[in-house]
Structure 1
Amino acid sequence: MSAQGDETAVERQIVPQEAVLVFFGLCVFGQGARPREAGVRVPTRVLLTVLERLGVSDAATRAALNRMVHRGLLARHKDGRTSAFELTPEARTLLAQGRDRLFSPTPFDHEPDIWTVLSCPLPETLRNVRYQLQTRLTWAGFGAVQPHVWVAPGRVDVETMLGDLLTPEVRPLAQAFHGTPTAPSDPAELIRRAWDLTALRAAHTQFLDRWEHPEPNPGDSLPHLLLLIDDWGRLLRADPGLPTPHLPDDWPAPHSTATFTRTRTRLGPAAEKETEALLSL
């Protein structure tokens, strides 16, 4: 398949685990934010077929599935010599939280002048928790302003975001605040310190170059939609929705949002039919 020309998974930097999660999102949630069916189990052969259409080898897909089981994202179910996979409750919760913003009509907008500040100095002995913390902070739009201190635009529900990471050992170390910057704080300087605006603009430009005028081949709606959502999720992780008054007038976020919405609307119905056909095999 091809989005614009014949691009391989390596060229598109497709991460098999992320592609699997995107597909599970379509299976479990459709293109909304509410689950449409509980306990969806996806056979291995379906996942191999879908990722093969994205240019991912069977070996890479199987390795990703094993890692996801080990990390508690997927549960494996055996039926004789065949197997199927299901999202764990933790993965369903995290996926649902991410999809609220993924399909929001205004994913870059937040309550004006409100920021979330998180301080969480984790010791070296909690290295695995530190890695998970950083991953969730990135998804939630946080940028680092000092060691162990992060900020995000808007009012982030930190307790929900951290969830199972708030063990009795970690909870006393985490301090979170919602508030408005005041002098001598300079929001524009805060943004420049925590985010690379040149890189963020480049990420929008790359997304628009790829998706503003796509021409999918007939029957390729599903892989194109998976690539679109994967690219959009990467862009949302890069750009948390910084306050407009402190950004250049030609900031491309509204243009990117309109392009994603228009392309998803065009690809969605056919992709849903392809997904249903695969699950019914």
Structure 2
Amino acid sequence: MAEIAPRQLILTLYGLYARDEHNWMSVSSVVRLMGDLGVDSAGVRSSISRLKRRGVLLAMKAGSAAGYALSESALEVLREGDVRIFDRRRARASEGFLLVVFSIPESEREKRHILRTTLSGMGFGTAAPGVWVAPGHLRDEVARTLERRGLSPYVDLFSARHEGFSSLCRQVAQWWDLDSINAEYGDFLERFSDAESRWKGSDDGTRTAFEIYVPMLTVWRRLPYLDPGLPPDLLPDGWLGGRAADLFGDLDALLRTPAREHAVTTIRA
């Protein structure tokens, strides 16, 4: 089971807590909260520097306290992520598919990598060279993301339906690596299936909730982007996505408030 990178935990902290604290957290509060998650101060400062270089965090002082705020582009990504993570629905067969066809001149070939990374990061599969496919209900989100990243001039979007001749289930299994996605869901279930009992058996409910909730959300927030959200009748037998989503929903309802209490108390101390 892969370790969670400190920078991913920091981004989760900012997404959960900084936005309601005037989009700012002091370095000292981030160090304390990350300490609760088992990350030492050197690792925290190194990860913050990396996020700053990437334009995710902006250095900002509040009085004499040094801290960081999320950049506007990072805030936009997090706002869109809120929908995928907390309010996601599975596609219906009647909605068909969204096709993305792109053509990028050789002089701008670096944009091909950016576009492919963007599409795969939104759950697209590859139907053919230069042709990417996703469930149709993602159209508006995809259009906004491509426009925000300056990629829309290279892309055409099409609504499509599968009319033959091969089995759609067989095609879907070729367009996406569903086995790999299912294994990720299995890892999530293995990692957090005992989270409720760990929390209920703890002596410090708010801190333990925080120690479970932030890593849990950090692991989970990748999954709605890997999983295209296909209709249930196109998913393979033994699909674990439903069980994992139920576990996430249960733990979110159980731990979000006490975890927030611990975080906010630390931030405002």
Structure 1 residues 81 and 185 mapped into 2: Cα distance closer, same or farther (>3 Å)?
farther
**2:101–2:131 contact (8 Å) kept in structure 1:** yes
Q: How far does the alpha carbon of each residue in 1:7-43 deviate from its partner, in whole angstroms, 9 at most, with x for none?
A: xxxx6421222212211111146xxxxxx56x32111
Are residues 1:266 and 2:254 paired?
Answer: yes
Q: How far does the alpha carbon of each residue in 1:44-63 deviate from its partner, in whole angstroms, 9 at most, with x for none?
A: 11222222333333233222
Shift of 1:273: 0.4
Q: How far does the alpha carbon of each residue in 1:222-260 deviate from its partner, in whole angstroms, 9 at most, with x for none?
A: 121111111111222332212211223542222111111
Residue in structure 2 matching 1:159, options 129, 132, 143: 143
TM-score for the superposition, normalised by structure 1: 0.82
CA distance in 2: counterparts of 1:91 and 1:213, whole angstroms: 32
Higher helix residue share: 2
Residue in 1 aligned with 2:127?
Answer: 145
Q: How far does the alpha carbon of each residue in 1:69-99 deviate from its partner, in whole angstroms, 9 at most, with x for none?
A: 2222221114687421111111111111111
CA distance in 2: counterparts of 1:270 and 1:172, whole angstroms: 46
**1:108–1:242 contact (8 Å) kept in structure 2:** no
Residue in 2 aligned with 1:73?
Answer: 56
**2:143–2:152 contact (8 Å) kept in structure 1:** no
Identity fraction in percent: 26
Residues 76-225 of structure 1 aligned to structure 2 (within 5 Å) = 76-78=59-61, 82-104=65-87, 107=88, 109-113=90-94, 114-123=96-105, 126=108, 129-156=111-138, 157=140, 158-166=142-150, 170-184=151-165, 186-214=167-195, 215-216=198-199, 217=202, 218=204, 219-225=207-213
CA distance in 1: counterparts of 2:35 and 2:27, whole angstroms: 12
Residue in 1 aligned with 2:4?
Answer: 14
**1:68–1:74 contact (8 Å) kept in structure 2:** yes
Shift of 1:131: 4.3
Residue in 2 aligned with 1:240?
Answer: 228
Which secondary structure state, in structure 2, belongs to the residue aligned with residue 220 of structure 1?
Answer: helix
Q: For structure 1, list consecutive stretches of 5 or more residues without a partner in the other structure.
A: 1-10, 30-35
Which secondary structure state, in structure 1, belongs to the residue aligned with residue 132 of structure 2?
Answer: strand
Q: Which residue type is aligned with residue 144 of structure 1?
A: T
Which secondary structure state, in structure 2, belongs to the residue aligned with residue 83 of structure 1?
Answer: strand
Q: Which residue type is aligned with residue 245 of structure 2?
A: T
CA distance in 2: counterparts of 1:25 and 1:208, whole angstroms: 23
RMSD: 2.4
Structure 1 residues 15 and 148 mapped into 2: Cα distance closer, same or farther (>3 Å)?
farther
Which secondary structure state, in structure 2, belongs to the residue aligned with residue 152 of structure 1?
Answer: strand
**1:212–1:259 contact (8 Å) kept in structure 2:** yes
TM-score for the superposition, normalised by structure 2: 0.85
Q: How far does the alpha carbon of each residue in 1:93-140 deviate from its partner, in whole angstroms, 9 at most, with x for none?
A: 111111102112xx3511324211112243565465444434432332
Which secondary structure state, in structure 2, belongs to the residue aligned with residue 86 of structure 1?
Answer: strand
Q: Which residue type is aligned with residue 133 of structure 1?
A: L
Q: Which residue type is aligned with residue 136 of structure 1?
A: T
**1:112–1:154 contact (8 Å) kept in structure 2:** no
**1:139–1:237 contact (8 Å) kept in structure 2:** yes
Number of equivalent positions: 259
Q: For structure 2, list consecutive stretches of 5 or more residues without a partner in the other structure.
A: none
CA distance in 1: counterparts of 2:234 and 2:215, whole angstroms: 31
